[in-house]
A and B are shown apart, each in its own frame.
Chain A
Amino acid sequence: MLRIEHISKQFDSGTTALADVSLRVQPAEIVALVGASGCGKSTLLRIVAGLDAPSAGRVFINDEPLAGPNAAVGVVFQEPRLMPWLTVRENVRFGLADLAQAEQNARTDAVLERVGLTNFAQAVPRQLSGGMAQRVAIARALVAQPALLLLDEPFSALDPFTKMDLQEHLLHIWAYDRPTLLLVTHDLEEALVLADRIVVLRGHPGHIHEMVRVELPRPRRRTDAVFQAYKQRLLDALDVRAAVAV
Protein backbone atom coordinates (compact mmCIF):
# COMPACT_ATOMS: atom_id res chain seq x y z
CA MET A 1 0.00 0.00 0.00
CA LEU A 2 2.77 2.37 1.04
CA ARG A 3 6.29 1.85 -0.28
CA ILE A 4 9.18 3.99 0.86
CA GLU A 5 12.31 3.36 -1.21
CA HIS A 6 15.78 4.53 -0.22
CA ILE A 7 14.68 7.87 1.17
CA SER A 8 17.37 10.32 2.25
CA LYS A 9 16.83 13.87 3.38
CA GLN A 10 19.40 16.58 3.65
CA PHE A 11 18.29 20.03 4.74
CA ASP A 12 19.52 23.24 3.18
CA SER A 13 21.48 23.86 6.36
CA GLY A 14 23.58 20.82 5.51
CA THR A 15 22.38 18.47 8.26
CA THR A 16 21.30 15.06 7.08
CA ALA A 17 18.10 13.90 8.77
CA LEU A 18 17.52 10.54 7.08
CA ALA A 19 19.83 8.11 5.37
CA ASP A 20 18.55 5.41 3.03
CA VAL A 21 15.26 4.51 4.71
CA SER A 22 13.10 1.87 3.05
CA LEU A 23 9.78 0.58 4.36
CA ARG A 24 6.76 -1.28 3.06
CA VAL A 25 3.38 -0.99 4.77
CA GLN A 26 0.47 -3.34 4.00
CA PRO A 27 -3.15 -2.16 3.61
CA ALA A 28 -4.90 -1.76 6.99
CA GLU A 29 -1.62 -2.21 8.81
CA ILE A 30 -0.81 0.03 11.79
CA VAL A 31 2.86 0.95 11.88
CA ALA A 32 4.53 3.09 14.54
CA LEU A 33 7.80 4.94 14.00
CA VAL A 34 9.67 5.39 17.27
CA GLY A 35 13.01 6.94 18.05
CA ALA A 36 14.74 9.61 20.08
CA SER A 37 14.24 13.28 19.26
CA GLY A 38 16.01 14.31 16.09
CA CYS A 39 16.19 10.84 14.55
CA GLY A 40 14.19 12.04 11.56
CA LYS A 41 10.91 10.27 12.23
CA SER A 42 8.79 13.39 11.78
CA THR A 43 10.79 14.30 8.69
CA LEU A 44 9.94 10.91 7.20
CA LEU A 45 6.25 11.48 7.93
CA ARG A 46 6.33 14.93 6.33
CA ILE A 47 7.86 13.41 3.21
CA VAL A 48 5.10 10.79 3.01
CA ALA A 49 2.55 13.59 3.55
CA GLY A 50 4.01 15.35 0.52
CA LEU A 51 4.89 18.45 2.55
CA ASP A 52 8.65 18.05 2.09
CA ALA A 53 10.49 16.52 -0.85
CA PRO A 54 13.15 13.87 -0.19
CA SER A 55 16.73 14.56 -1.29
CA ALA A 56 16.91 11.05 -2.72
CA GLY A 57 14.60 8.07 -3.03
CA ARG A 58 10.91 7.72 -3.82
CA VAL A 59 7.58 7.14 -2.12
CA PHE A 60 4.80 5.08 -3.73
CA ILE A 61 1.19 5.02 -2.62
CA ASN A 62 -0.77 2.20 -4.23
CA ASP A 63 2.10 1.93 -6.73
CA GLU A 64 1.70 5.59 -7.75
CA PRO A 65 4.81 7.71 -7.18
CA LEU A 66 4.08 10.47 -4.70
CA ALA A 67 4.38 14.07 -5.86
CA GLY A 68 3.10 16.44 -3.22
CA PRO A 69 0.02 16.16 -0.99
CA ASN A 70 -2.22 13.29 -2.06
CA ALA A 71 -5.96 12.77 -1.82
CA ALA A 72 -5.42 9.26 -0.50
CA VAL A 73 -3.44 10.56 2.48
CA GLY A 74 -4.87 12.19 5.61
CA VAL A 75 -2.66 13.90 8.17
CA VAL A 76 -3.10 14.54 11.90
CA PHE A 77 -0.45 16.83 13.36
CA GLN A 78 0.89 17.10 16.88
CA GLU A 79 -1.33 20.15 17.45
CA PRO A 80 -4.97 20.17 16.33
CA ARG A 81 -4.27 23.02 13.87
CA LEU A 82 -7.95 23.93 13.57
CA MET A 83 -8.96 27.11 11.78
CA PRO A 84 -10.01 29.32 14.71
CA TRP A 85 -12.58 31.17 12.56
CA LEU A 86 -14.49 28.03 11.58
CA THR A 87 -16.91 25.99 13.66
CA VAL A 88 -16.13 22.37 14.46
CA ARG A 89 -18.35 21.30 11.60
CA GLU A 90 -16.77 23.70 9.12
CA ASN A 91 -13.32 22.58 10.23
CA VAL A 92 -14.21 18.97 9.50
CA ARG A 93 -15.69 19.95 6.13
CA PHE A 94 -12.42 21.73 5.33
CA GLY A 95 -11.16 18.43 3.90
CA LEU A 96 -14.01 18.08 1.39
CA ALA A 97 -13.98 21.07 -0.96
CA ASP A 98 -14.37 19.13 -4.21
CA LEU A 99 -17.54 17.19 -3.39
CA ALA A 100 -21.22 18.06 -3.88
CA GLN A 101 -22.85 19.91 -0.94
CA ALA A 102 -25.17 17.07 0.05
CA GLU A 103 -22.35 14.55 0.01
CA GLN A 104 -20.19 16.92 2.09
CA ASN A 105 -22.92 17.31 4.68
CA ALA A 106 -23.60 13.59 4.93
CA ARG A 107 -19.94 12.69 5.33
CA THR A 108 -19.30 15.47 7.84
CA ASP A 109 -22.23 14.41 10.01
CA ALA A 110 -21.17 10.77 9.84
CA VAL A 111 -17.58 11.39 10.87
CA LEU A 112 -18.60 13.84 13.63
CA GLU A 113 -20.79 11.11 15.02
CA ARG A 114 -17.95 8.62 14.88
CA VAL A 115 -15.65 10.87 16.93
CA GLY A 116 -18.54 11.65 19.29
CA LEU A 117 -18.70 15.39 18.63
CA THR A 118 -22.16 15.76 17.10
CA ASN A 119 -23.22 17.96 19.99
CA PHE A 120 -20.26 20.27 19.48
CA ALA A 121 -20.71 20.73 15.73
CA GLN A 122 -21.51 24.44 16.09
CA ALA A 123 -18.80 25.18 18.68
CA VAL A 124 -15.69 27.14 17.71
CA PRO A 125 -12.20 25.85 18.50
CA ARG A 126 -11.59 28.17 21.45
CA GLN A 127 -14.41 26.45 23.31
CA LEU A 128 -12.87 22.98 23.02
CA SER A 129 -10.56 21.08 25.37
CA GLY A 130 -7.26 19.79 23.98
CA GLY A 131 -8.60 16.27 23.60
CA MET A 132 -11.76 17.40 21.84
CA ALA A 133 -9.80 19.63 19.48
CA GLN A 134 -7.57 16.71 18.55
CA ARG A 135 -10.66 14.60 17.89
CA VAL A 136 -11.85 17.29 15.48
CA ALA A 137 -8.45 17.14 13.77
CA ILE A 138 -8.80 13.36 13.43
CA ALA A 139 -12.30 13.81 12.02
CA ARG A 140 -11.00 16.36 9.50
CA ALA A 141 -8.30 13.92 8.38
CA LEU A 142 -10.78 11.04 8.10
CA VAL A 143 -13.70 12.79 6.42
CA ALA A 144 -12.21 12.39 2.94
CA GLN A 145 -11.84 8.65 3.67
CA PRO A 146 -8.09 8.43 3.05
CA ALA A 147 -6.50 5.04 2.44
CA LEU A 148 -3.50 6.14 4.49
CA LEU A 149 -3.68 8.15 7.70
CA LEU A 150 -0.49 9.77 9.00
CA LEU A 151 -0.28 10.81 12.65
CA ASP A 152 2.63 12.91 13.91
CA GLU A 153 2.83 12.49 17.71
CA PRO A 154 -0.91 13.16 17.78
CA PHE A 155 -1.45 12.75 21.52
CA SER A 156 1.83 14.00 22.93
CA ALA A 157 0.42 17.33 24.11
CA LEU A 158 -2.43 15.73 26.07
CA ASP A 159 -2.65 14.65 29.70
CA PRO A 160 -2.19 10.89 30.36
CA PHE A 161 -5.87 10.10 30.83
CA THR A 162 -7.06 11.94 27.74
CA LYS A 163 -4.19 10.33 25.88
CA MET A 164 -5.20 6.77 26.80
CA ASP A 165 -8.80 7.60 26.04
CA LEU A 166 -7.93 8.87 22.58
CA GLN A 167 -5.67 5.90 21.80
CA GLU A 168 -8.60 3.64 22.52
CA HIS A 169 -10.81 5.92 20.46
CA LEU A 170 -8.42 5.89 17.50
CA LEU A 171 -8.51 2.08 17.35
CA HIS A 172 -12.27 2.21 17.49
CA ILE A 173 -12.44 4.66 14.57
CA TRP A 174 -9.79 2.73 12.67
CA ALA A 175 -11.92 -0.43 12.87
CA TYR A 176 -14.67 1.32 10.88
CA ASP A 177 -12.98 1.32 7.47
CA ARG A 178 -9.47 0.21 8.40
CA PRO A 179 -7.20 2.74 6.76
CA THR A 180 -3.47 2.14 6.84
CA LEU A 181 -2.00 4.02 9.80
CA LEU A 182 1.51 5.38 10.01
CA LEU A 183 2.12 6.88 13.44
CA VAL A 184 5.12 8.78 14.74
CA THR A 185 5.52 8.70 18.50
CA HIS A 186 8.16 8.82 21.21
CA ASP A 187 5.81 7.10 23.62
CA LEU A 188 6.67 3.38 23.58
CA GLU A 189 3.46 2.36 25.35
CA GLU A 190 1.43 4.24 22.80
CA ALA A 191 3.26 2.40 20.02
CA LEU A 192 2.67 -0.92 21.77
CA VAL A 193 -1.03 -0.27 22.37
CA LEU A 194 -1.71 0.74 18.79
CA ALA A 195 0.72 -0.81 16.33
CA ASP A 196 0.99 -4.10 14.48
CA ARG A 197 4.60 -3.29 13.77
CA ILE A 198 7.06 -0.88 15.37
CA VAL A 199 9.92 0.62 13.37
CA VAL A 200 12.83 1.75 15.52
CA LEU A 201 14.78 4.65 14.03
CA ARG A 202 18.18 5.52 15.41
CA GLY A 203 21.14 7.74 14.89
CA HIS A 204 22.11 10.95 13.14
CA PRO A 205 21.20 10.73 10.32
CA GLY A 206 18.28 8.48 11.16
CA HIS A 207 18.10 4.99 9.74
CA ILE A 208 15.97 1.95 10.47
CA HIS A 209 17.63 0.09 13.30
CA GLU A 210 15.09 -2.62 13.96
CA MET A 211 11.52 -3.69 13.24
CA VAL A 212 9.42 -5.27 15.95
CA ARG A 213 6.19 -7.08 15.14
CA VAL A 214 3.77 -6.82 18.06
CA GLU A 215 1.99 -10.14 18.35
CA LEU A 216 -0.44 -9.30 21.10
CA PRO A 217 -4.23 -9.56 20.78
CA ARG A 218 -6.24 -6.33 21.17
CA PRO A 219 -7.27 -4.77 23.46
CA ARG A 220 -3.79 -4.75 24.91
CA ARG A 221 -3.17 -4.33 28.62
CA ARG A 222 -0.27 -2.16 29.64
CA THR A 223 0.29 -4.14 32.81
CA ASP A 224 0.53 -7.44 30.93
CA ALA A 225 3.93 -9.16 31.40
CA VAL A 226 4.39 -9.73 27.64
CA PHE A 227 3.54 -6.06 27.00
CA GLN A 228 6.23 -5.04 29.46
CA ALA A 229 8.69 -7.47 27.89
CA TYR A 230 8.05 -5.80 24.50
CA LYS A 231 8.64 -2.44 26.09
CA GLN A 232 11.98 -3.58 27.53
CA ARG A 233 12.96 -4.89 24.13
CA LEU A 234 12.19 -1.53 22.53
CA LEU A 235 14.15 0.30 25.21
CA ASP A 236 17.12 -1.94 24.47
CA ALA A 237 16.70 -1.37 20.74
CA LEU A 238 16.66 2.39 21.27
CA ASP A 239 19.76 2.05 23.44
CA VAL A 240 18.23 4.62 25.76
CA ARG A 241 21.13 4.65 28.18
CA ALA A 242 23.60 5.46 25.43
CA ALA A 243 21.32 8.23 24.17
CA VAL A 244 21.10 9.76 27.64
CA ALA A 245 24.88 9.60 28.08
CA VAL A 246 25.43 11.60 24.88
Chain B
Amino acid sequence: MSNFFNLIITDIKISLRKKNESIISILFFLFSILILPLIFQGDQDILKRFLIGIIWFLTLLTIIFSVEKLFENDYEDGILDQIYISGIPLETIFLAKSLSIWIITCLPIIILSPLLLLLFNIQTEKLANIFISLLIGTPILCMIGAVTSALVLGFNKGSSIISLITLPLYIPVLIFGIEASNSEIIFNQIGQEFKILIGYLLIVVAVSPWIGGLALRLKYR
Protein backbone atom coordinates (compact mmCIF):
# COMPACT_ATOMS: atom_id res chain seq x y z
CA MET B 1 0.00 0.00 0.00
CA SER B 2 2.83 2.40 0.81
CA ASN B 3 4.31 1.53 -2.59
CA PHE B 4 1.07 2.65 -4.15
CA PHE B 5 1.14 6.07 -2.47
CA ASN B 6 4.85 6.46 -3.13
CA LEU B 7 4.24 5.87 -6.82
CA ILE B 8 1.52 8.53 -6.89
CA ILE B 9 3.63 11.08 -5.00
CA THR B 10 6.69 10.51 -7.20
CA ASP B 11 4.58 10.81 -10.30
CA ILE B 12 3.07 14.10 -9.19
CA LYS B 13 6.48 15.43 -8.20
CA ILE B 14 7.99 14.48 -11.55
CA SER B 15 5.25 16.07 -13.58
CA LEU B 16 5.35 19.26 -11.50
CA ARG B 17 9.09 19.48 -11.98
CA LYS B 18 9.16 18.56 -15.65
CA LYS B 19 6.10 20.63 -16.60
CA ASN B 20 5.06 17.90 -19.03
CA GLU B 21 1.85 17.35 -21.03
CA SER B 22 -0.43 17.01 -18.05
CA ILE B 23 0.40 20.49 -16.79
CA ILE B 24 0.23 22.02 -20.26
CA SER B 25 -3.17 20.45 -20.83
CA ILE B 26 -4.74 22.42 -17.97
CA LEU B 27 -3.55 25.58 -19.64
CA PHE B 28 -5.13 24.31 -22.85
CA PHE B 29 -8.41 23.83 -20.99
CA LEU B 30 -8.35 27.32 -19.48
CA PHE B 31 -7.40 29.11 -22.68
CA SER B 32 -10.01 27.34 -24.78
CA ILE B 33 -12.73 28.12 -22.24
CA LEU B 34 -11.75 31.77 -22.21
CA ILE B 35 -11.69 31.96 -26.01
CA LEU B 36 -15.21 30.51 -26.18
CA PRO B 37 -17.27 33.74 -25.96
CA LEU B 38 -15.67 34.77 -29.23
CA ILE B 39 -17.31 31.87 -31.09
CA PHE B 40 -20.77 32.86 -29.96
CA GLN B 41 -20.20 36.51 -30.81
CA GLY B 42 -20.94 37.47 -27.25
CA ASP B 43 -24.45 36.04 -27.28
CA GLN B 44 -25.09 35.44 -23.58
CA ASP B 45 -28.14 33.17 -24.00
CA ILE B 46 -26.44 30.60 -26.25
CA LEU B 47 -23.39 30.69 -24.04
CA LYS B 48 -25.43 29.99 -20.94
CA ARG B 49 -27.23 27.10 -22.62
CA PHE B 50 -24.16 25.33 -23.92
CA LEU B 51 -21.46 26.21 -21.42
CA ILE B 52 -21.89 23.06 -19.34
CA GLY B 53 -21.70 20.84 -22.40
CA ILE B 54 -18.64 22.71 -23.58
CA ILE B 55 -16.92 22.35 -20.23
CA TRP B 56 -17.55 18.60 -20.36
CA PHE B 57 -16.29 18.30 -23.92
CA LEU B 58 -13.13 20.27 -23.20
CA THR B 59 -12.51 18.20 -20.08
CA LEU B 60 -12.72 15.10 -22.24
CA LEU B 61 -10.24 16.50 -24.79
CA THR B 62 -7.89 17.62 -22.03
CA ILE B 63 -7.88 14.16 -20.51
CA ILE B 64 -7.14 12.60 -23.90
CA PHE B 65 -4.20 14.97 -24.38
CA SER B 66 -2.75 14.30 -20.98
CA VAL B 67 -3.31 10.54 -21.12
CA GLU B 68 -1.60 10.20 -24.50
CA LYS B 69 1.93 9.90 -23.12
CA LEU B 70 0.93 8.51 -19.73
CA PHE B 71 2.97 5.31 -19.93
CA GLU B 72 5.07 6.11 -22.97
CA ASN B 73 7.48 8.52 -21.25
CA ASP B 74 8.17 6.06 -18.46
CA TYR B 75 8.40 3.18 -20.89
CA GLU B 76 10.95 4.90 -23.08
CA ASP B 77 13.38 5.94 -20.36
CA GLY B 78 13.06 2.61 -18.59
CA ILE B 79 11.38 3.74 -15.38
CA LEU B 80 8.44 1.43 -16.00
CA ASP B 81 10.79 -1.53 -16.35
CA GLN B 82 12.47 -0.64 -13.08
CA ILE B 83 9.16 -0.41 -11.23
CA TYR B 84 8.05 -3.70 -12.75
CA ILE B 85 11.27 -5.46 -11.79
CA SER B 86 10.95 -4.23 -8.21
CA GLY B 87 7.97 -6.54 -7.81
CA ILE B 88 5.06 -4.15 -7.68
CA PRO B 89 2.08 -5.71 -9.49
CA LEU B 90 1.24 -4.09 -12.81
CA GLU B 91 -2.34 -3.52 -11.65
CA THR B 92 -1.04 -1.36 -8.82
CA ILE B 93 1.19 0.58 -11.21
CA PHE B 94 -1.76 1.12 -13.50
CA LEU B 95 -4.03 2.30 -10.69
CA ALA B 96 -1.37 4.62 -9.29
CA LYS B 97 -0.68 6.09 -12.70
CA SER B 98 -4.33 6.76 -13.47
CA LEU B 99 -4.92 8.25 -10.02
CA SER B 100 -1.93 10.54 -10.37
CA ILE B 101 -3.08 11.74 -13.79
CA TRP B 102 -6.49 12.41 -12.22
CA ILE B 103 -4.92 14.47 -9.45
CA ILE B 104 -2.68 16.44 -11.81
CA THR B 105 -5.14 17.12 -14.61
CA CYS B 106 -8.68 16.73 -13.38
CA LEU B 107 -8.55 18.10 -9.87
CA PRO B 108 -7.67 21.63 -11.08
CA ILE B 109 -10.45 21.41 -13.68
CA ILE B 110 -12.97 20.28 -11.06
CA ILE B 111 -11.99 23.09 -8.71
CA LEU B 112 -11.91 25.69 -11.46
CA SER B 113 -15.15 24.79 -13.22
CA PRO B 114 -17.59 26.34 -10.68
CA LEU B 115 -15.50 29.50 -10.80
CA LEU B 116 -15.73 29.46 -14.59
CA LEU B 117 -19.50 29.21 -14.34
CA LEU B 118 -19.47 32.27 -12.09
CA LEU B 119 -17.30 34.00 -14.66
CA PHE B 120 -19.92 33.35 -17.32
CA ASN B 121 -22.76 34.43 -15.06
CA ILE B 122 -24.59 31.12 -14.80
CA GLN B 123 -27.20 30.72 -12.08
CA THR B 124 -25.61 29.55 -8.86
CA GLU B 125 -27.70 26.42 -8.24
CA LYS B 126 -25.87 24.67 -11.10
CA LEU B 127 -22.51 25.13 -9.38
CA ALA B 128 -22.87 22.18 -7.03
CA ASN B 129 -24.22 20.03 -9.84
CA ILE B 130 -21.32 20.51 -12.20
CA PHE B 131 -18.84 20.18 -9.36
CA ILE B 132 -20.22 16.85 -8.20
CA SER B 133 -20.79 15.43 -11.67
CA LEU B 134 -17.24 16.30 -12.71
CA LEU B 135 -15.99 14.76 -9.49
CA ILE B 136 -17.74 11.49 -10.32
CA GLY B 137 -17.22 11.53 -14.08
CA THR B 138 -13.56 12.43 -14.51
CA PRO B 139 -12.14 9.33 -12.77
CA ILE B 140 -14.06 7.21 -15.28
CA LEU B 141 -12.58 9.18 -18.16
CA CYS B 142 -9.08 8.93 -16.70
CA MET B 143 -9.27 5.18 -16.17
CA ILE B 144 -10.65 4.38 -19.62
CA GLY B 145 -8.04 6.68 -21.15
CA ALA B 146 -5.31 5.00 -19.15
CA VAL B 147 -6.46 1.59 -20.40
CA THR B 148 -6.26 2.64 -24.05
CA SER B 149 -2.95 4.37 -23.40
CA ALA B 150 -1.61 1.14 -21.96
CA LEU B 151 -2.99 -0.78 -24.95
CA VAL B 152 -1.13 1.22 -27.59
CA LEU B 153 2.05 1.39 -25.51
CA GLY B 154 5.09 0.26 -27.43
CA PHE B 155 3.62 0.66 -30.90
CA ASN B 156 5.10 3.25 -33.22
CA LYS B 157 2.65 6.09 -33.83
CA GLY B 158 0.52 4.56 -31.10
CA SER B 159 -0.32 7.77 -29.35
CA SER B 160 -1.56 9.40 -32.54
CA ILE B 161 -4.43 6.95 -32.76
CA ILE B 162 -5.44 7.08 -29.11
CA SER B 163 -8.25 9.59 -29.60
CA LEU B 164 -9.91 7.40 -32.23
CA ILE B 165 -9.96 4.47 -29.86
CA THR B 166 -10.90 6.38 -26.74
CA LEU B 167 -13.61 8.79 -27.89
CA PRO B 168 -16.33 6.17 -28.61
CA LEU B 169 -15.85 4.76 -25.12
CA TYR B 170 -16.33 8.22 -23.61
CA ILE B 171 -19.83 8.76 -24.99
CA PRO B 172 -21.85 7.41 -22.02
CA VAL B 173 -19.91 9.55 -19.56
CA LEU B 174 -20.41 12.62 -21.73
CA ILE B 175 -24.16 12.07 -22.03
CA PHE B 176 -24.79 11.27 -18.38
CA GLY B 177 -22.37 13.91 -17.17
CA ILE B 178 -24.11 16.68 -19.07
CA GLU B 179 -27.55 15.36 -18.05
CA ALA B 180 -26.45 15.23 -14.42
CA SER B 181 -25.00 18.74 -14.54
CA ASN B 182 -28.25 20.07 -15.95
CA SER B 183 -30.51 18.12 -13.61
CA GLU B 184 -32.20 19.74 -10.65
CA ILE B 185 -31.20 18.80 -7.14
CA ILE B 186 -34.22 18.78 -4.86
CA PHE B 187 -33.27 18.69 -1.18
CA ASN B 188 -31.14 15.62 -0.52
CA GLN B 189 -32.64 13.79 -3.51
CA ILE B 190 -29.94 13.19 -6.08
CA GLY B 191 -31.04 12.60 -9.64
CA GLN B 192 -31.04 9.29 -11.47
CA GLU B 193 -28.23 10.50 -13.70
CA PHE B 194 -25.94 10.83 -10.69
CA LYS B 195 -26.78 7.33 -9.59
CA ILE B 196 -26.02 5.95 -13.05
CA LEU B 197 -22.73 7.85 -13.13
CA ILE B 198 -21.77 6.47 -9.73
CA GLY B 199 -22.65 2.95 -10.86
CA TYR B 200 -20.54 3.35 -13.98
CA LEU B 201 -17.68 4.67 -11.87
CA LEU B 202 -17.84 1.62 -9.62
CA ILE B 203 -17.83 -0.75 -12.60
CA VAL B 204 -14.88 1.03 -14.19
CA VAL B 205 -12.88 1.14 -10.95
CA ALA B 206 -13.49 -2.56 -10.44
CA VAL B 207 -12.71 -3.70 -13.98
CA SER B 208 -10.17 -1.34 -15.51
CA PRO B 209 -7.16 -2.18 -13.28
CA TRP B 210 -7.32 -5.79 -14.47
CA ILE B 211 -7.64 -4.87 -18.13
CA GLY B 212 -4.97 -2.19 -17.77
CA GLY B 213 -2.64 -4.57 -15.95
CA LEU B 214 -3.20 -7.17 -18.66
CA ALA B 215 -2.46 -4.57 -21.34
CA LEU B 216 0.77 -3.60 -19.62
CA ARG B 217 1.71 -7.24 -19.18
CA LEU B 218 1.56 -7.76 -22.93
CA LYS B 219 4.72 -5.67 -23.18
CA TYR B 220 6.64 -7.88 -20.75
CA ARG B 221 5.95 -11.28 -22.23
A and B together in one complex: no
